């Protein structure tokens, strides 16, 4: 939170508002109002401070002045704009993503030996350079997030997908993503479950070197002529008399 405070004040000064200040308590209040706004929705945020009883919210209005909220909202920053990494589309929120991943790992130290890797979609309908559209999914529009969870569903590690440019290795996407999520966390003799979007013969080889078992289907064009035994099923005929 100290980082957000520092970068927000720095951005305000860069915009010419040298008198702007924000305390940690005010930042916590600001984020609390944002969380509350997800449950108590109004057409415009300013309505929380209006005098009409059907929109006025005493909890919000009593916690922070409207002008202060709007100033924080205008200047809110998570990273230093003067140090922008053009190769990282998520640069402006990267410190927050890194902090969350660190905390998830700290709080999930006792996470067993079974893990899952999959993709998740965070719904978003506005305009953004790395908003994704995935046909046939319950959530078709939004941000794609690579996730690694425990068998209990606890999120241990995640990575925001910002487009093909984020993959800088010559490895297949599924292998690159799975390695980045798992390698520093999953202990030896663990099992990772994934679907055919991520799995490949190359991935099985790489994880076998780490003594990690991988369970998942593989697409036929990724087996690389592996000598797989034929698994023809027996044919049974069942006659039912009526």
pLDDT of residue 222: 79
Distance of alpha carbon 197 from alpha carbon 119, whole angstroms: 9
Distance of alpha carbon 132 from alpha carbon 136, whole angstroms: 13
pLDDT of residue 51: 85
DSSP SS3 for 150: strand
pLDDT of residue 64: 95
Domain spans, the chain:
2-77, 91-222
Instruction: Give mean pLDDT in consecutive 10-residue pieces for the chain, a chain of 242 residues.
Output: 94 94 96 93 91 87 95 95 86 92 84 89 85 84 92 91 69 87 89 90 90 88 71 61 48
pLDDT of residue 86: 83
pLDDT of residue 236: 59
DSSP SS3 for 71: helix
User: Can you give the pTM of this predicted structure?
Assistant: 0.79
Distance of alpha carbon 153 from alpha carbon 174, whole angstroms: 21
Q: What's the CATH fold of domain 91-222?
A: Nucleotidyltransferase; domain 5 (3.30.420)
DSSP character at residue 55: T
pLDDT of residue 68: 97
Strands 213-215 and 155-160: unpaired
H or E element that contains 61: helix 58-63
């Amino acid at each position: 939170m100290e980082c957000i405070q520092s970068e927000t004040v720095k951005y305000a000064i860069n915009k010419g508002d040298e008198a702007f200040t924000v305390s940690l308590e005010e930042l916590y209040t600001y984020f609390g109002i944002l969380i509350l706004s997800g449950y108590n929705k109004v057409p415009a945020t300013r309505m929380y401070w209006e005098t009409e009883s059907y929109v006025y919210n005493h909890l919000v209005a009593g916690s922070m002045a409207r002008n202060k909220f709007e100033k924080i909202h205008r200047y809110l920053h998570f990273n230093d704009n003067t140090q922008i990494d053009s190769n990282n589309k998520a640069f402006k929120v990267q410190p927050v993503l890194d902090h969350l991943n660190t905390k998830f790992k700290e709080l999930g130290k006792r996470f067993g030996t079974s893990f899952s890797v999959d993709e998740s979609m965070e719904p978003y309908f506005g305009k953004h350079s790395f908003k994704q559209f995935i046909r046939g999914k319950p959530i078709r529009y939004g941000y794609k997030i690579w996730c690694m969870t425990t068998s209990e569903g606890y999120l241990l590690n995640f990575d925001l997908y910002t487009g093909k440019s984020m993959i800088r290795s010559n490895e297949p996407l599924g292998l690159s993503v799975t390695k980045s999520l798992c390698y520093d966390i999953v202990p030896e003799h663990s099992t990772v479950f994934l679907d055919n979007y991520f799995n490949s013969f190359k991935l099985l080889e790489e994880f076998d070197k780490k003594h990690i078992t991988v369970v998942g289907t593989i697409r036929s064009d990724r087996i690389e002529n592996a000598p797989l035994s034929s698994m023809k099923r027996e044919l049974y005929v069942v006659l039912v008399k009526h």
